[in-house]
Amino acid sequence: MSERVGFIGLGIMGRGMARNLLRAGFDLCVWNRTAAKMEEFAKAGARTAADPADLAAQSDIIITCVSDTPDVEEVLLGERGVIHGAQPGALVIDTSTISPQATKVMAARLAERGIHMLDAPISGGSEGAEQGTLSIMVGGDAEQVARAMPVFRAIGKTITHVGGHGAGQMVKLVNQILVVVTMLGISEALVFAQAGGLDLEKTLQAVSGGAAGSWMLTHRAPQVIRRDWRPGFTIDLQQKDLRLVLEAADQLGVPALGTGLVFNLYRVLQRAGLGHEGNHALVKALERLAGITVGER
Amino acid sequence: MSERVGFIGLGIMGRGMARNLLRAGFDLCVWNRTAAKMEEFAKAGARTAADPADLAAQSDIIITCVSDTPDVEEVLLGERGVIHGAQPGALVIDTSTISPQATKVMAARLAERGIHMLDAPISGGSEGAEQGTLSIMVGGDAEQVARAMPVFRAIGKTITHVGGHGAGQMVKLVNQILVVVTMLGISEALVFAQAGGLDLEKTLQAVSGGAAGSWMLTHRAPQVIRRDWRPGFTIDLQQKDLRLVLEAADQLGVPALGTGLVFNLYRVLQRAGLGHEGNHALVKALERLAGITVGER
């Protein structure tokens, strides 16, 4: 018999994941701070819990999908947190992107009560969550990763066990460094191309297939040219993740020249009230510096 | 009857291109500053010329593949340059990567004598030149681009007419901005991952397929992990191109924060005698700053 699953956090990402778990036939219990978001799932056959401890008492595997480190600490270790309801042997899977260091500390606290933990941050956006095609970077013990596989397969496509506790979070931060510095290059290239009077569509056509190519160039540069700022991932969320990168880099004692630069450019945009736009709006910070608008004829 | 082709510059790139033109059956004349490099082509049935003017006198289409702006100026406009031998109606195709501004000036000088010009910088490395799979970014008049197509098809695969004189060079510089800033992100991400004790191969496996993915990540990051610094493109050549980017950005009055940073990091490596290594050795500049070696266990 498959294990009972509890799901905490029915936001943009969590909602899609929880739907896919129901669809895959899991016995599901849900909890969300704003109770109204649970109704849809109750109607679809899920149980609902009064709080995280109550949810944990009814679940073998507990998945968390919340915003930031303090949110995970609250739902796991707070007054009515998972730790107060979970049975020894239960498994917590945290799919939030949070501090690798805090993840290790929480895994140790849970282990004292015989509760297992995996960090399993996801990437692929809300579409990936809806379609069950997320990439999942997993840190923790191999045995628990194997146990979690049926759950992972219901919500994701590329599942990589990358190391021990916290390693999933570290790899997610590596992912974010790559995404934003690549976007810096794209932004700088587009401002340069615009200033030089190039046809931007032909320019992209000429360079996208070669050594200059990237996922962000293929998917986000055309959006920039159309000045379509709808978010695949918002600047506000990106900043939350870059804060984690810079904090971890500081703890590790390594410089982060590119990421630090992008963080400060995004800060300019947040200050201008653009935090809700997609992370490809980074180009707007360079446009301000250059006094140029990409895509303008 | 197909047009007679003259080829100037039998270096690493030019050699492969000239071979492909011979293979495609073009009536070929070659010239190279170091005469010994012409022997192979003489044996294979090409004519050889005494100087660029002499070559131009025997050719309908003249291709140049030399290093930098002054080299192109010399072979086209110098004392025994192409301009002194070419007939009105001849077409010059410059495949070197040089200044977009200087390209416009040269095209105008040649036009005064009724000589056409296309700027057609290439990308794809020496393998691409050997295999005839180069990407070619073409600037100039549409009529001449159509005329040049049989030649382009013999040496390249992706041929994009991007605009008027100098536009090919501008797009090539856009390409270089994308390449080096993407490589900055990869370098920073690998140093961060190494400092965090991650398994680098698993890390790449987890992130390469998603939004963090790029041609450079797929092709160069594994080389970095193996510490294989053989060049697809050397730091010295990369710097020559970045100098063109920064010069053009200065003329256009736009900032180039990322490219400027990378230019200075490469300068550190050139000073350390590493200019002959591949452009992915950029990571070594960050390693110096961090006191960390990527790939070390």
Domain chopping of chain B, boundaries: 5-163, 170-290
Given the DSSP bridges, would you call strands A28-31 and A5-8 parallel, antiparallel or unpaired?
parallel
Give B230 to chain A, closest Cα distance, Å: 16
A25 — contact with chain B (CB < 8 Å)? no
> Of B290, B34, B27, which is closest to residue B150 (Cα–Cα)?
B27
Q: Which residue has the tokens 């066990």?
A: A161
Catalytic, out of A104, A172, A202, A284: A172
Q: pLDDT band at B245, cuts 50/70/90?
A: very high
What lies within 8 Å, CB to CB, of B105 at 6+ separation is none
Q: Which of A170, A249, A258 sits opposite B198 (nearest CB)?
A: A170
A-B CB pairs within 8 A amount to 246
In this prediction, residue A297 carries a pLDDT of 80
The fold of the A5-163 domain, in CATH, is Rossmann fold (3.40.50)
Residue of B nearest to A220 (CA): B211
Question: What was the pLDDT predicted at A1?
Answer: 58
Are residues A117 and A29 in contact, defined by beta-carbon separation less than 8 angstroms? no
Interface of A with B in 148-177 (CB under 8 A): 158, 160-163, 167, 170-171, 173-177
Helices (H) and strands (E) in chain A, counts: 14, 9
Residues of A in contact with B198 (CB under 8 A): 162-163, 167, 170-171, 174
Integer Cα distance of A198 and A142 in angstroms: 52
Question: Which residue from B minimizes the CA distance to A253?
Answer: B290
CA–CA min distance A185, chain B (Å): 5
CA–CA distance, B165 with A151 (Å, rounded to integer)? 57
Residue B1 predicted with pLDDT over 80: no
**B258·A100 Cβ contact <8 A:** no
Residue of chain A whose Cα is closest to the Cα of B120: A206
Which residues make beta-bridge pairs with B134?
B156
Cross-strand bridge partners of residue B63? B7, B93
B26-37 tens-digit pLDDT: 999 999 999 999
**Which of A174, A177, A188 lies at the smallest CB-CB distance from B259?**
A188
Q: Which of B172, B202, B240, B284 is catalytic?
A: B172
CB A183 within 8 A of CB A232: no
Consecutive H or E run containing B31 = strand B28-31
pLDDT at A2: 83
**Mean pLDDT across chain B, nearest whole number?**
97
Residues B134-151 pLDDT 10s: 999 999 999 999 999 999
Confidence class for position B127, pLDDT limits 50, 70, 90: confident
Note whether A207 contacts B137, CB cutoff 8 Å: yes
Quick one: closest CA in B to A260, which residue?
B188
Q: Is there a catalytic annotation at residue A172?
A: yes
Amino acid at B109: R
Per-block mean pLDDT, blocks of 10 residues, chain A (297 long) = 92 96 97 97 97 98 96 98 98 98 98 98 91 96 98 97 98 98 98 98 95 96 97 95 98 97 98 98 98 93
Q: Which of B127, B137, B170, B177 to mutate to test the interface with A (most CBs of A within 10 A)?
A: B177
Judge whether A139 is closer than 8 Å to chain B, CB to CB: no
Q: How far apart are CA A247 and CA A121, in angstroms?
A: 17
Nearest residue, CB atoms, A162 vs list B137, B167, B206: B206
Q: What is the mean pLDDT of residues B160-181?
A: 98
This complex has an ipTM of 0.95
Q: Which residues on B lie below 8 Å from A219 (Cβ)?
A: 211
CA-CA distance, B241 to A175, in Å (whole number)? 28
Selected residues 258-297 of chain B with any CB under 8 Å from a CB in chain A: 258-259, 261, 286, 289-290, 292
3-state secondary structure of A194: helix
**Angle CA A186–A199–A285, to nearest 5:** 35
Measure in Å the smallest separation between the Cα of A241 and chain B Cα atoms. 14
Q: Residue B47 and residue B29: Cα distance in Å, rounded?
A: 4
CB within 8 Å of chain A, chain B residues 207-266: 207, 209-217, 219, 232-233, 245, 248-249, 252-259, 261
Q: How close A220 comes to chain B (CA, Å)?
A: 10
Cβ-Cβ contacts under 8 Å, B249 against chain A: 192, 195
Please give the radius of gyration of chain A, using alpha carbons only, rounded to the nearest integer.
Answer: 21
Count of CA atoms in the C-beta half-sphere (13 A) of B27: 9
pLDDT greater than 70 at residue B126:
yes
Q: Which of B202, B206, B194, B200 is closest to A252 using CA atoms?
A: B194
Scanning every residue of chain B, which has its alpha carbon at the shortest distance from the alpha carbon of A212?
B179
> Which helix or strand (DSSP H or E) is residue B5 part of?
strand B5-8
**Number of other CB atoms surrounding residue B27 within 10 Å:** 18
Q: B21: Cβ–Cβ under 8 A, 6 or more apart, which residues?
A: B5, B7, B28, B151, B154, B155
**DSSP label of A278:** B
pTM, whole model, 2 decimals? Answer: 0.95
**Could you give the dihedral angle defined by the CA atoms of residues B40, B42, B44 and B47, in that order, rounded to the nearest 10 degrees?**
140
Q: What is the reported pLDDT for A127?
A: 85
- Cβ of residue A185 closer than 8 Å to a chain B Cβ: yes
- Residue B208 contacts by C-beta under 8 Å, 6 or more apart in sequence? B217, B218, B221
d(CA A63, CA A86): 12
Q: Spell out a b/e string for B199-229, using b for 16 or more CB atoms within 10 Å of the CB, else e.
A: bbebbbebbbbbbbbbbbbeebbebbbeeeb
Residue B161 DSSP SS3:
strand
- Indicate the residue of B167, B199, B290 with minimum beta-carbon distance to A254: B290
Which listed CATH number (1.10.1040.10, 3.50.30.30, 2.40.160.20, 3.40.718.10) goes with B170-290? 1.10.1040.10
Which residues 6+ apart lie within 8 Å of A136 measured at CB? A95, A120, A121, A122, A152, A155, A156, A158, A159, A160, A168
Contact B188 A214 (CB under 8 A): no
Neighbours of A73 (CB within 10 A): 18
- C-beta neighbour count of A257 within 10 angstroms: 18
Percentage of chain B modeled with pLDDT above 70: 100
Q: Residues 101 to 120 of A: which have CB under 8 A from any B CB? A: none
Distances (CA, A) of B81 to B11, B77, B110, B115: 19, 5, 11, 13
> Per-residue pLDDT tens for B272-290?
999 999 999 999 999 999 9
Chain A contact set for B174 (CB, 8 A): 189, 192-193, 198, 203, 207, 212
DSSP single-letter state for residue B129: H
* C-alpha–C-alpha distance, residues B236 and B270, integer Å: 7
Q: How far is B93 from chain A (nearest CA, A)?
A: 18
Distance from C-alpha of B36 to C-alpha of A36, rounded to nearest angstrom = 81
Place of tokens 């018999």: A1
**CB-CB under 8 Å, A261 with B206:** no
Q: Is B185 helix (H, G, I), strand (E, B) or coil?
A: helix
